[in-house]
Structure 1
Amino acid sequence: MSAHVDDVVATVARDIDARLPELTVELTDWFVEMIPEFRHDEAVRQLMVASTSANLVGIVDLLAHAIPVEQIAVPPAAAEYARRFAQHELSLEALLRAYRLGEHRFGQWALDSLRRGDRRDPDVVLAAVASLSERTNRYIDQVVEGLIDIYETERRRWSTRSGAGLAARIRMVLDTDPLSDSAADELLGLPVRGWHRAAVLWVSGPTDAADDDGLLQAGARLLHDAAGRPPLTVLADSRTLWAWHSGPTAPALDVELLRARMPGDVCVALGAPAAGLSGFRGSLAEAVRARAVVENSVLTPPVTEFDDVAIPALLTERTEDLRRWVARVLSDLDSDEPGVDQVRETLRVFLASGGSYTQAAGRLHLHKNTVHYRVRKAEDLRGRPLGDDRLQVEVALLAASLLRTRP
């Protein structure tokens, strides 16, 4: 019966493999819902998705090809995600909980696949369920054992490298509520009642750890030059540095100097100047949001100010809610069918031109009649004319464009 059981297990693995992209999204969304520590910024979120995908591929390959568990190693993406977890001072327990939740969800998928299959021998099915559970569990145990070592090693290394004491104090200021100004002053070693402007520097290209260090240090020196004084800095992770310039008045920063001299593999996002503890926190939050916009865009400018990307940053904060709203406002105009993108862009420019067919035609280098036709086409796709909801349509068109830049 063993050969029959292996065949059933392999068939289930192939069935799951065929749906891996959608199942990966399902699992990562569930992690974010169930585990607060999994609510990351965009860069770490992408690494979390890569880690999840790599583990699912590893389990499927184990089952489909009867690979001995002893040959299983921690997938590189999963190892790097564990290191980032340690660098962000997130708990090992949260990381391990995700693996047990993932094991449970994978078991559900396997049972669903067995129910859909035409397998009449109950003994074979029961043996396959036992085999699926045992092999998946052994994979998880093998990977978790390696992850614990990776996490603990990185935690010790990071404590000596990142200025652990300062990093811990800054995170307390960012995360503790309520927190008095005097307590924040003592933690930061600077008067929090003043003005602050935050920057997030990150390494955008593929480099090794030594290069990352050098590039971030070069970026920090450039921030010093642009402000005329050194910023307060802390490593957020091995490829990201947070920085603040603070003073009694709004910090001046030579943004053009940053644009001209920022190293090629380094990007910086700037929050707006703001006062007080809320300003210290809020300026960093803006810089983090600006970074997310850059990482979801086709172009990667060396310097991005939050005020220049505020609308896309705020619009894409809750992506799934935004997608549903855009679909309601635009209806079939939100379609990816050929030619609809041109209709959307024409309507966007028409509305931005104050409803002038002539101005829109000039900006788009089209004949006025073509603009007229596409605007009517847009109304047909929406199923209703442009009326009192013009502002909603303009915002929805911008959001539709932004959402299509996301991975």
Structure 2
Amino acid sequence: MPAEVDAVVAEVAGVIDTGLPGLTTEMTDYFVEVIPEFRHDEAVRRLMIASTSANLVAIVDMLAHSIPLDRITVPPAAAEYARRFAQHDLSLEALLRAYRLGEHRFVQWALDALGRLGHTDTTAVLATVSELSERTNFYIDQVVEGLIDIYETERRRWDSRTGAARAAQLRLVLDNDQITEAAAQELLDVPMGDWHQAATAWVPSTTTDAGRILQNATRFLQETTGRAPLTMLADDRTLWAWITSPSEPAIDRDLLGGLLAKSEGLRIALGAPGRGLAGFRGSLREAQRARAVAETAHDQQHRLLEFDDVAVAALLTEHSEDISRWVARVLAGLTSNDAPTQQLRETLRVFLELNGSYTQAASRLHLHKNTVHYRIRKAEEIRGKPLSAGRLEVEVALRVFDLLHSRIG
């Protein structure tokens, strides 16, 4: 029976081998579709295809020629792709997931090929299925074990070699006004003339495993943009990141918010996209200002904050004493933190946001229209002047007070 099974296994391998180029394309397209980390630039994409092809050829050869399982090694192209994966800060979990998905798909191909061969001996067919599955699984296990060592070794080597150097290069580009766009591109190996969107990710100071959690930020940005971000650790609890692309970067904000909701204390602030060196620098400044708003806002529940949503407050975070005095002048007695005053501020903010409509404000706040009338009159009394006197200033002051509460309250 073993010799008979070996013969059928070799037949199956022969069928797969005849269509291997097309099957390789099918598998690599599948990886790109279901695993965001596999959406590479052209050079790395070619290496990914070479890695997939090398593994498929090795499996087919193993099955066709009954190569002993103890002679299985990691194909050179697969080893190099694992190293490149580590260098690009892509997760080991994504790489291993591809191997398991690939194993499943290969076994499906083998079963289809076996069916086309038309063998009628049920016992032999079942034995062949078992042998195909077992040999393929053993190959994947052996290669994965080797890849884990390759990836982790490269990750340690790359971090020690590039971490400090990359941070120094990035700070030079960010802080040196004399550096040209061409020089920045050569220094960072980033197409500086493209679009850039920066993010700052951070965790609370009480976090015990900040490094691991900040790595999640890199993975989340990759998953929600389809591009590997350029990253650096700004300090032990802060990561800076940039997404670069020929067209304006598109982040799936709903997906990113959902991922952040499941991560331990991780928060991300996004700058607006910008082109060129000015966009590269400016987007990070905006992300940093948005973070300042996030950390001082009355509501600390938001895990994802965008600069454009808090731009007015964010632009004022560096002048908190001046803005505090201005807000106090505009709002007068409406800056107290007791519950009745908070209600007045909220009613006033919604009323102004809805263009002075008592009806719409009552609906938004779930109040009676007369209650809104009363609160607006009360707010005017406390301020000592009607809303028509400096209405825009009142609206801005309310927004700033809400977003920068701990700085100016």
> Shared topology, TM-score over 0.5?
yes
Match of 1:269 in 2: 269
SS at match of 2:315: helix
Query: Is contact 1:202-1:216 (8 Å) kept?
Result: yes
Q: Contact 2:272–2:308 at 8 Å: present in 1 too?
A: yes
Aligned residue for 1:304, secondary structure, equals strand
| 1:287 and 2:315 matched | no
Aligned-partner Cα distance in 2 for 1:305–1:338: 29
Mean CA deviation greater in 369-378 or 389-398: 369-378
Corresponding residue of 2:111: none
Distance change >3 Å, CA 279–CA 375, structure 1 → 2? same
The residue aligned with 1:391 is 392
Bigger radius of gyration among the two = 2
Q: Which residue of structure 2 aligns with residue 308 of structure 1?
A: 309
- Kept in 2, the 8 Å contact 1:205–1:265? The answer is no
Q: State the Cα distance separating 1:324 from its structure 2 match.
A: 0.8
Q: What is the number of equivalent residue pairs in this alignment?
A: 247
Cα distance in 2, alignment partners of residues 254 and 366 from structure 1: 35
Distance 1:162 1:206, change over 3 A: farther
CA–CA distance in 2 between the matches of 1:286 and 1:172? 18
Structure 1: any 5+ residue segments left out of the alignment? 1-158
Residue identity matched to 2:390: D
How far off its partner does 1:342 sit?
A: 2.1
Give, in angstroms, the shift of residue 184 of structure 1.
1.1
The separation in 2 between residues aligned to 1:241 and 1:352, in whole angstroms, is 35
Contact persistence 1:226–1:254 (CA under 8 A): yes
The C-alpha deviation readout for 1:60-84, integer Å capped at 9, x for no partner, is xxxxxxxxxxxxxxxxxxxxxxxxx
User: Are the equivalent residues in 2 in contact too, given 1:274–1:280 (CA < 8 A)?
Assistant: yes
CA shift in 2, pair 1:311/1:334, >3 Å: same
Residue range with higher mean Cα deviation, 344-353 or 240-249: 344-353
CA distance in 2, matches of 1:376, 1:205: 44
Distance 2:374 2:255 in 1: 46
2:245 aligned with 1:244: no
- In structure 2, what is the Cα distance between the partners aligned to 1:235 and 1:162? 12
Alpha-carbon distance in 1 for matches of 2:250, 2:294 = 23
Specify the alignment match of 1:216 in structure 2.
214
Instruction: Tell me, yes or no, if structure 1 residue 203 matches structure 2 residue 240.
Output: no
Shift in Å at residue 229 of structure 1? 2.6
Task: Let me know the Cα RMSD of the aligned residues.
Answer: 2.3
User: Residue 315 of structure 1 contacts residue 322 of structure 1 at CA under 8 Å; is this kept in 2?
Assistant: yes
The alpha carbon displacement at 1:278 in A equals 0.7
Question: What corresponds to 1:362 in structure 2?
Answer: 363
SS of structure 2 residue aligned to 1:259: helix
Following TM superposition, by how much is the alpha carbon of 1:205 offset from its aligned partner in structure 2, in angstroms? 6.5
Determine what percentage of the aligned residue pairs are the same residue: 55
TM-score normalized by the length of structure 2: 0.56
Aligned to 1:176: 176
Shift of residue 162, structure 1, vs aligned partner: 7.0
Describe the shift of the 1:380–1:277 C-alpha distance in structure 2 as closer, same or farther (beyond 3 A): same
Shift of 1:190: 1.7
One-letter amino acid of the structure 1 residue matched with residue 308 of structure 2: D
**Is the contact between residue 271 and residue 287 of structure 1 (CA under 8 Å) also seen in structure 2?**
yes
Structure 1 distance, partners of 2:163, 2:339, is: 53
Summarize deviations over 1:124-160 as a string: whole Å, max 9, x none.
xxxxxxxxxxxxxxxxxxxxxxxxxxxxxxxxxxx95
Alpha-carbon deviations, 1:16-45, whole Å to 9, x = none?
xxxxxxxxxxxxxxxxxxxxxxxxxxxxxx
1:2-401 equivalence runs, <5 A = 160=160, 163-204=163-204, 206-208=206-208, 211-262=209-260, 263-297=263-297, 298-336=299-337, 339-401=340-402
**Corresponding position of 1:132:** none
Evaluate the alpha carbon distance shift between residue 178 and residue 311 of structure 1 in structure 2; reply closer, same or farther with a 3 A threshold: same
Counterpart-to-counterpart distance in 2, 1:301 and 1:344: 21
For residue 90 of structure 1, what is the aligned residue in structure 2? Answer: none
Give the TM-score of the pair, scaled to structure 1.
0.56
SS at match of 1:244: strand
- 1:270–1:287: 8 Å Cα contact kept in structure 2? yes
Distance between the aligned counterparts of 2:212 and 2:335, measured in 1?
44
Please give the alpha-carbon distance, in whole angstroms, between the structure 2 residues aligned to 1:376 and 1:224.
51
Counterpart-to-counterpart distance in 1, 2:393 and 2:169:
43
Q: Which amino acid aligns with 2:242?
A: W
Gaps of 5+ in 2: 1-158
Q: Which residue identity does 2:387 align to in structure 1? A: L
Q: 1:338 Cα shift?
A: 5.9
| Partner Cα distance (2:197, 2:339) in 1 | 44
Q: CA deviation at 1:400?
A: 2.5
Amino acid at match of 2:254: E
Contact 1:202 1:267 in 2 (8 A): yes
Question: How much does 1:350 deviate?
Answer: 2.1
